[in-house]
Amino acid sequence: MSDDTPRAAKTTYQWSRGRIALGVAIVLAAGAFIGVVVRREVAAFQQAAEADDLYSRLLLSVTEEHAAQFNLDNLTIARSEISFGGPPKDGIPAISKPEIVDIGASEKLRDDDRMIGVVVDGLARAYPIRLLMYHEAVNDTIGDTPITVVYCPLCDSVSVVDRRLDGTVHEFGISGLLTNSNVLLYDRTDDSLWSQVGLTAISGPNAGRSLKHLPWEITTAAAWREAHPDSTVMTFNTGFNRDYNQNPYPSYFDSDDSLLFPVSHEDDRFSRREQVIGVKLDDVAKAYSIAAIREAPDGVLRDSIGGKTVVLQAGSDGKSVRVVEAPPGAQTVHTFWFAWAAFHPDTAVYGR
């Protein structure tokens, strides 16, 4: 069947040399104009960004408003060194009186779960870091000893403290504030602020004072279970609706050495995220890289600080590290190097 519909006549353009030259000239002129406009706008934007401190002033305003919820009397650091981390006060909910079961009865615990283990009064207990990623502090009691286990994801920092001071048992929450990209806890008895890697209260009636630090171990659930078959463990029944199978900071841990928040001091003796154990006794601070501990004979590093013995050990599994012995009164924390160096700029470094 033939199609008898009339067809429109085709128009054929003849591109003469003159027309081609004119077309090229128009394109070049338009491109040059666009380039000038883009460069001018980019330059204007950059100049405005440099001159306009609106973002900084807004951030400062939010930080000031948030910080006003806390007792800032006797503040030991510059107020400008306090940053708003994003969540409000208790937006990251610390756990108090966690549910505890025998380690063999924990149904959701995985063998490769990274754990913080402590032995207090001869009793072993472990806390999954999968939980602490979402809660950052656990107020617990082992035997007769009230403790707080603290973990800051931004610094991969671990510490365990006896939360008694001058006869008062303190309970800690998460303030939503940071300094040197590290968590600031707050004392629920007086709303004062405490720094984990800074090792002291930074405001309030106890400003400048430290709690007693307890030995800890970072290990896997399988290794802890084998070493402490009678251990108890914190369960995943926290009372909060969280997906503990998901890491809330995947891009941060997968990224390079970049930081999300400012620090007051940097030190290039290690890369920012080199894992270290920091030990402080009186006014003497010293950092021990996890790599150095693993390289020590049998994975046991023996040293002294202030004339007192320090013993640190790394497990043969390549994942475990623990404080075996520290001088009475010493504070110990596992952390990224950038945080230890920021809080303790005069720190010595083992082997250097």
Print the domain residue range for 131: 73-268
Contact 186, 193 (CB under 8 A): yes
What digits encode the pLDDT tens for the residues 248-257?
A: 888 887 777 8
What digits encode the pLDDT tens for the residues 130-163?
A: 999 999 999 999 999 999 999 999 999 999 999 9
Least confident residue range of 11-25, 29-43, 44-58, 107-121: 29-43
Least confident residue range of 28-32, 88-92, 130-134, 239-243: 28-32
Tell whether the model's pLDDT for residue 57 goes beyond 70.
no
Q: What's the mean per-residue pLDDT of the chain? A: 86
CA 31 – CA 16 distance, rounded (Å): 23
The confidence score (pLDDT) of residue 174 equals 98
Q: In this structure, is residue 210 part of a structural domain? A: yes
CA 13 – CA 215 distance, rounded (Å): 86
Tell whether the model's pLDDT for residue 2 goes beyond 60.
no
Q: In this structure, is residue 22 part of a structural domain? A: no
Long-range contacts of 76-82 (CB under 8 A, 24+ apart): 76/200, 76/201, 76/202, 76/203, 76/207, 76/208, 77/179, 77/198, 77/202, 81/179, 81/180, 81/264, 82/177, 82/178, 82/179, 82/184
pLDDT > 70 fraction of the chain, expressed in percent and rounded: 82
Q: In this structure, is residue 260 part of a structural domain? A: yes
Count of domains for the chain: 1
Mean pLDDT for the stretch of residues 306-319: 94
Mean pLDDT for the stretch of residues 192-214: 97
Alpha helix stretches (DSSP H) within the chain: 17-51, 54-67, 129-135, 221-227, 250-254, 290-295, 337-343
Q: In this structure, is residue 299 part of a structural domain? A: no
Q: In this structure, is residue 52 part of a structural domain? A: no
Angle at 140 between CA 138 and CA 143, to 5 degrees: 155
Q: How confident is the model at residue 20 (pLDDT cuts 50, 70, 90)?
A: very low
What digits encode the pLDDT tens for the residues 92-131?
A: 999 999 999 999 999 899 999 999 999 999 999 999 999 9
Q: In this structure, is residue 198 part of a structural domain? A: yes
Strands 145-152 and 137-142: antiparallel
Mean pLDDT for the stretch of residues 229-255: 91
Q: In this structure, is residue 120 part of a structural domain? A: yes
Q: In this structure, is residue 8 part of a structural domain? A: no
pLDDT > 90 fraction of the chain, expressed in percent and rounded: 73
Of the candidates 110, 89, 150, 189, the one whose C-alpha atom is nearest the C-alpha of residue 333 is 150
